[in-house]
Chain A
């Protein structure tokens, strides 16, 4: 062993690198005294710097070749394949060799490419039915190299015969040309449209990569090699990894999982990345690494494109684009400067939608049928800016126009580039506050508008902030009416984000000064009273809600044309209160009245009547008039879909209600299926952490309870509770309902102690629901408590609780079979278990 340490050697060598030859001599002799071995080693090393570099490179290449094990040619010139004679080998890839060939009979002088696969017995043409061969052969798209035929050679190697494309590979083309981003995106769109064509013919490509893309003589991009394409119909799960090129393989290909349309989408994402970097990235690069160190995204000029790529590259196929169409739409949108669906968690998207339908300045949160009793939580609030505010229209027109510009292709000026509507609103607000020339009145109006914009988006937190600004302005101006109005707005914003404590106290202030509001504007007063009513409906405090709404609807002596909408909103809320109080006939009366008023004003297919329709459906459902309910609900959904996005909260919640309607008719499987679908859709588009997802989970727990699938009840309960935890505010009884579900799982899992704890907490949280008529929560809590007692061996107490609960359940109105069955099950448990104990 040498008499020097690694550290010594390394330090000295390093130091020498920055010295000239003579300097090195001196330096070394000074620093290696008594260690000649060290000195000679370093000198030797210094002379070998270059060679060592080459040595490792060559060694790596040799190793690579070792993995690749060269392969003899699979065919030679003169060989006949089907009707073609091989002329020469023109290329070889990891999995195959490609030959150029001509017709044996000389009928056509057109040459073809014959691709022979190295691996025998691949699922290529041989395994395909005639039908599928037809599919492949009929694949016709200007950007797809045509496939003529295929089969297996005598030596067992599969082959395909395809159109011979003469041109340059994409790789070479990119290096030669200095393509603009737009040209790159055009190439990409071409490829996408050819893949879409294949998908339409139930064919997957599965090997989309630069090497398979050729730009032919007429400058057209061609996608080659459907060599490992599989029919969409047979979900391929065999491991085709060895046939693939690493760099463009999707995770599910590497893992040998089921391949799908999303596999192609993954590869398209990589291709887009490759194109935008002009071929500079991905060489020897790990995919998982792509965006991690940030410097890779330097090739991607915009956040939107990056977000499109990222969506394609999601490791889970279900999180990617669901079709090439969707991907293409985003690319087109980008090319035309429209917002892209994946961008900024779709706020952009919502905002755009909002702008598109700015005349309907409402985004209605429709009601959700609640689990178990079909109570409703009502997010009924209609933004009333649309009505009777025509005089404001002109003032707002400019603002709205600006809003348009920020997302429109005509946007001028760098300032608005890459600006989301939210950024824009922020800027607008800042400008407003610093603008000296603007009159206070106009400032007030614009803040008003800003508030309505946020509340309708719906971004209650931002709205609350604007309301605070309004309060400040009002105080500055010492305008008591403004103070009242802005307090009302702030309360509304808090109520909409379920911060009821703050909302209650703010509304209290508003109510104390209702007289002043009434003097100012009766309509405004009705609106404020309605909103206070809504605040209590959301808390399911129907008695209080009824009080305020009673005042609201009794205010107008006679209904004037301009009062129609305001009054109809009050009626709408009132009907939900009556529903909550179990007075369904009255509820139906007012719901229908509200609807009539609105139809009178807006017509039959206006977005503003859709929530009235779906809320009336809830009343019909309570009355077991399911076909009426279904008609109203479907009508509402139809109206929504004509304006709104199908994955938006408004439509999704109505579809969730439709599922609940199915469950009322005992179609639990269907209900669960639909709800799962909605949950997946929401998760995909907007992430898991939103209030509406909690609702979907809650509904699922109900359906799965009915289906006795307790593991799924458990799963959705946990997910729901997790979602609630992530939210700033929510009505406490929602958590109570989840805990009630949890207790069911725990009893079924023989954990009586945990169940009892959760039942106790649940009882506390459910307090507001326990006071509503015809609910059976107390009974459920009681018999489950009884069940838990039985499990703990407290037989007498348990039996008493259960029997008592069953008696009450039988007395109550409504369809309680499912609960009675569950309760009786607990009694049976005692019987079966008492033998063993």
Chain B
């Protein structure tokens, strides 16, 4: 795992669509994000506004030396964005399970503190969003990736553009459309 070259290599391949490489690198990134998320505490006032970029950034520093090529970062971001989506989905799902009484293990206060505890409302929304995203992915994989970067990894327009090799104006335009589409899709799902 410490082999920087190998990680970079896998990231590049994964982004070129190599499923094998993707399957190798994803758990690595996911695990790192999860570990970081589990011990993170952010205040929400003023400057200290939390965003998931912080976690992605830290994972990046962990997995890839900060001196690495800037391109690596773009490759990494795509995978990390997907991993972040998975991470939140899992957190949302575990919230649901917990509510249904699935969580039997004794949880002390300190243990709880170590977890991402999404509110019920938030969990529901994430599950809805996931369904809508799957549908979106069927229509356009690129748009789905865009949502992963822009929303789940909380990347800026510029960063998203860099990660997906698109122009910033394209990202801006797409994000405008896809946001509304997802919202309307979610509203429809809720009605159904």
A118 touches B41 (CB 8 A): yes
- B37 to chain A: which residues have CB within 8 Å? 67
- A247 to chain B: which residues have CB within 8 Å? 47-48, 54
A93 touches B184 (CB 8 A): no
| Proximity bits, A423-435, B CB within 8 Å = 1, else 0 | 0000000000000
CA distance A288 to B49 in the complex (A): 18
| Proximity bits, A30-55, B CB within 8 Å = 1, else 0 | 00000000000100111011011101
- B143 to chain A: which residues have CB within 8 Å? 6
Which A-chain residue is minimally distant from B52 (CB atoms)? Answer: A63
CA distance A500 to B162 in the complex (A): 48
B179 touches A284 (CB 8 A): no
Which A-chain residue is minimally distant from B50 (CB atoms)? Answer: A64
Stretch at the interface among B9-17, B21-29, B151-159: B151-159
B181 touches A9 (CB 8 A): yes
| Proximity bits, B112-127, A CB within 8 Å = 1, else 0 | 1101111101100110
A52 touches B116 (CB 8 A): no
CA distance A251 to B181 in the complex (A): 39
- Residues of B contacting A: mostly: helix
Which B-chain residue is minimally distant from A61 (CB atoms)? Answer: B44
Question: 7 closest pairs, A vs B, by CB?
Answer: A52-B183, A62-B122, A66-B118, A246-B54, A6-B139, A6-B140, A94-B43
CA distance A63 to B143 in the complex (A): 22
CA distance A44 to B66 in the complex (A): 45
Number of A-B residue pairs having CB atoms within 8 Å of each other in the complex:
160
CA distance A64 to B119 in the complex (A): 10
A67 touches B116 (CB 8 A): yes
Given contacts A6-B139, A283-B49, 8 further A-B contacts (CB under 8 A): A13-B181, A45-B177, A59-B129, A67-B37, A67-B50, A68-B42, A120-B110, A315-B67
B66 touches A288 (CB 8 A): yes
- A92 to chain B: which residues have CB within 8 Å? 43
A56 touches B151 (CB 8 A): yes
B residues contacting A by CB (< 8 A) are 37, 39-44, 46-54, 57-58, 61-62, 66-67, 70, 73, 88, 91, 110, 112-113, 115-119, 121-122, 125-126, 129, 136, 138-140, 143, 151, 154, 158-159, 173-174, 176-177, 179-184, 186-187
CA distance A289 to B158 in the complex (A): 10
CA distance A44 to B191 in the complex (A): 14
A45-B180, A48-B180 as given contacts; A209 in contact with B47, CB under 8 Å: yes
B51 touches A284 (CB 8 A): yes
CA distance A538 to B159 in the complex (A): 53
- A293 to chain B: which residues have CB within 8 Å? 158
Interface centre among B42, B44, B115, B176 (most CB of A within 10 A): B42
Task: Say if the beta carbon of A171 comes within 8 Å of chain B.
Answer: yes
Which B-chain residue is minimally distant from A53 (CB atoms)? Answer: B179
A52 touches B53 (CB 8 A): no
B121 touches A62 (CB 8 A): yes
CA distance A237 to B67 in the complex (A): 21
CA distance A549 to B132 in the complex (A): 88
Of A59, A242, A251, A282, which one neighbours B41 at CB under 8 angstroms? A242
CA distance A211 to B143 in the complex (A): 38
- B183 to chain A: which residues have CB within 8 Å? 45, 48, 51-52, 55-56
A14-B177, A55-B183 as given contacts; A241 in contact with B58, CB under 8 Å: yes
Task: Say if the beta carbon of A448 comes within 8 Å of chain B.
Answer: no
B88 touches A171 (CB 8 A): no
Identify 17 residue pairs between A and B in the complex whose beta-carbon atoms are under 8 Å apart, listed by A's number: A10-B177, A45-B177, A45-B184, A49-B180, A59-B126, A60-B51, A61-B44, A64-B44, A67-B41, A69-B117, A92-B43, A118-B41, A171-B47, A246-B42, A247-B54, A282-B47, A292-B70
Of B46, B66, B139, which one neighbours A5 at CB under 8 angstroms? B139
A52 touches B184 (CB 8 A): yes
Which B-chain residue is minimally distant from A10 (CB atoms)? Answer: B177
CA distance A246 to B42 in the complex (A): 8
- A71 to chain B: which residues have CB within 8 Å? 113
Which B-chain residue is minimally distant from A243 (CB atoms)? Answer: B41
CA distance A46 to B176 in the complex (A): 11
A245 touches B61 (CB 8 A): no
A93 touches B48 (CB 8 A): yes
Task: Say if the beta carbon of A665 comes within 8 Å of chain B.
Answer: no
Of B42, B53, B117, B136, which one neighbours A286 at CB under 8 angstroms? B53
B42 touches A289 (CB 8 A): no
| Proximity bits, A645-657, B CB within 8 Å = 1, else 0 | 0000000000000
- B91 to chain A: which residues have CB within 8 Å? 66
Shortest distance between the CB of A27 and any CB in chain B (Å): 16
Task: Say if the beta carbon of A176 comes within 8 Å of chain B.
Answer: no
- B174 to chain A: which residues have CB within 8 Å? 10
- B119 to chain A: which residues have CB within 8 Å? 62, 65-66
Interface centre among A6, A62, A247, A315 (most CB of B within 10 A): A6
Task: Say if the beta carbon of A254 comes within 8 Å of chain B.
Answer: yes
B47 touches A60 (CB 8 A): no
B58 touches A254 (CB 8 A): yes
Shortest distance between the CB of A273 and any CB in chain B (Å): 13
A60 touches B151 (CB 8 A): yes
- B40 to chain A: which residues have CB within 8 Å? 67, 242
- A46 to chain B: which residues have CB within 8 Å? 180
- B61 to chain A: which residues have CB within 8 Å? 251, 254-255
Which B-chain residue is minimally distant from A59 (CB atoms)? Answer: B125
CA distance A820 to B118 in the complex (A): 73
CA distance A55 to B183 in the complex (A): 8
Which B-chain residue is minimally distant from A210 (CB atoms)? Answer: B47
Shortest distance between the CB of B145 and any CB in chain A (Å): 13
**In residues 70-119 of chain A, which contact B (Cβ within 8 Å)?**
71, 92-95, 118
CA distance A91 to B176 in the complex (A): 37
Which B-chain residue is minimally distant from A70 (CB atoms)? Answer: B117
**In residues 370-391 of chain A, which contact B (Cβ within 8 Å)?**
none
A286 touches B57 (CB 8 A): yes
B184 touches A48 (CB 8 A): yes
CA distance A288 to B54 in the complex (A): 11
- A286 to chain B: which residues have CB within 8 Å? 53, 57, 159
**In residues 1-42 of chain A, which contact B (Cβ within 8 Å)?**
1, 5-7, 9-10, 13-14, 17, 41
- B62 to chain A: which residues have CB within 8 Å? 254-255
Shortest distance between the CB of A6 and any CB in chain B (Å): 4
- B173 to chain A: which residues have CB within 8 Å? 14
B180 touches A13 (CB 8 A): yes
Which A-chain residue is minimally distant from B91 (CB atoms)? Answer: A66
- A292 to chain B: which residues have CB within 8 Å? 70
- B126 to chain A: which residues have CB within 8 Å? 59, 63
A68 touches B39 (CB 8 A): no
Shortest distance between the CB of B148 and any CB in chain A (Å): 13
A211 touches B70 (CB 8 A): no
A315 touches B66 (CB 8 A): yes
Of A59, A211, A242, which one neighbours B46 at CB under 8 angstroms? A211
- A55 to chain B: which residues have CB within 8 Å? 183, 186
Shortest distance between the CB of A828 and any CB in chain B (Å): 38
CA distance A60 to B118 in the complex (A): 11
CA distance A48 to B139 in the complex (A): 21
CA distance A1 to B151 in the complex (A): 25
Shortest distance between the CB of A303 and any CB in chain B (Å): 22
B184 touches A66 (CB 8 A): no
| Proximity bits, A270-314, B CB within 8 Å = 1, else 0 | 000000000100111011110011000000000000000000000
Shortest distance between the CB of A25 and any CB in chain B (Å): 18
A45-B181, A60-B154, A63-B122 as given contacts; A289 in contact with B41, CB under 8 Å: no
Which B-chain residue is minimally distant from A156 (CB atoms)? Answer: B110
B51 touches A64 (CB 8 A): yes
A65 touches B44 (CB 8 A): yes
- B67 to chain A: which residues have CB within 8 Å? 315-316
Which B-chain residue is minimally distant from A274 (CB atoms)? Answer: B47
**In residues 196-242 of chain A, which contact B (Cβ within 8 Å)?**
209-211, 241-242
- A59 to chain B: which residues have CB within 8 Å? 122, 125-126, 129
CA distance A427 to B54 in the complex (A): 47
Which B-chain residue is minimally distant from A64 (CB atoms)? Answer: B50
Shortest distance between the CB of A452 and any CB in chain B (Å): 41
- A56 to chain B: which residues have CB within 8 Å? 151, 179, 183
